[in-house]
Amino acid sequence: MIELDSQRRVIDCPPNGRTWLRTYFEEPIHADRLPPALRAWLSSSGGDGAASLVRRRNDRCLIVRRFAGVDGAALLLLEERTSWNGAQHLRDQGLTQRELEVLLVAEQGKTNEEIAAALFISPATVKKHLQNIFPKLRVSNRTAAVARLRASHSR
C-alpha cells in the first residue's frame, strides 16, 4: 500500500513497494515521487478501485488500484501475481487448464468459496481440483502449492 498526499507525492511506501515500482516501471524512483507512467495513469483514471493498471514483466504482473483518501489524498494498492503465461510450465507437471486457473486464484489468498465465485464453479469442485493439484506438485496443502508456483519462477 502506497500512501499519497493531495499533490500525489509519496507519504509512505514500504520497501517491497519501491522494489515493485523499480521492477515494473523501469523508471527512476525518487523518494517522494511516483514513476512518470504511474503519475500519468493516476491523472487519467477517475474511479476509486474500479480501474486498475496492470504491468507485466516476464511471468509476473503488478496490479495497481487507486482508492480515494481524505482531502484529495489517495492510497495505491499494489498486488503482484503470477501471470497466466508464468504458470504454463506447470502443465508439464500434469496440471489441467482448470487446475491452473484454480491455483492462480488461490495464489491471491482466496478461500474455496471465493475461488468458486471467481471461476463460476462450486466450492466442492474447487476442493476437488485442489486435491488433484497437490499430488501433481508433490505437496500436501494449498500453501505449499502456492509456494511451489512462486518458487518455480526462479528456475
The pLDDT value recorded for residue 49 is: 54
Residue 47: name the closest of 72, 62, 66 by CA: 66
Residue 152, pLDDT score: 65
Residue 56 pLDDT grade (very low, low, confident, very high; cuts 50, 70, 90): confident
The mean of the pLDDT values for the chain is 84
Specify whether 40 is located in the same domain as 71: yes
Same-domain status, 23 and 61: yes
% of the chain at pLDDT higher than 90? 23
10 and 72 fall within a common domain? yes
**Mind listing the pLDDT tens digit for each residue in 115-140?**
998 888 999 999 999 999 999 999 99
Evaluate the CA torsion angle 23, 29, 34, 37 in order and state its sign: negative
In the chain, how many domains are there?
A: 2
Is residue 25 located within the same domain as residue 66?
Answer: yes
Per-residue model confidence as pLDDT tens digits over 65-107: 888 888 888 889 888 877 666 677 788 888 988 998 899 889 8
Among 57, 82, 107, give the residue marking a domain's end: 82
| Whether residue 153 has pLDDT greater than 60 | no
pTM summary value: 0.61
Is the domain of 78 the same as that of 34?
Answer: yes
How many whole angstroms separate alpha carbon 8 and alpha carbon 4? 5
Is 125 in the same domain as 75? Answer: no
Range of the domain at 36: 2-82
- Same domain for 53 and 7: yes
State whether 41 and 67 are in the same domain.
Answer: yes
The answer to whether the CB of 51 falls within 8 A of the CB of 36 is no
Output 46 or 23, whichever has higher pLDDT: 23
Look at residues 39, 64, 82 and tell me which one is the last residue of a structural domain. Answer: 82
Decide if pLDDT at 51 tops 60: yes
Tell me: do 36 and 78 sit in the same domain. Answer: yes
Q: Are residue 25 and residue 63 in the same domain, yes or no?
A: yes
For residue 50, name the pLDDT band (cuts at 50, 70, 90): low
E strand or H helix that includes residue 62: strand 60-68
Q: For residue 150, what is the domain's CATH number?
A: 1.10.10.10
**Same domain membership, residue 61 and residue 106:** no
Identify the domain boundary among 82, 114, 143.
Answer: 82
The pLDDT, as a whole number, for residue 129 is 96
- Are residues 31 and 89 located together in one domain of the fold? no
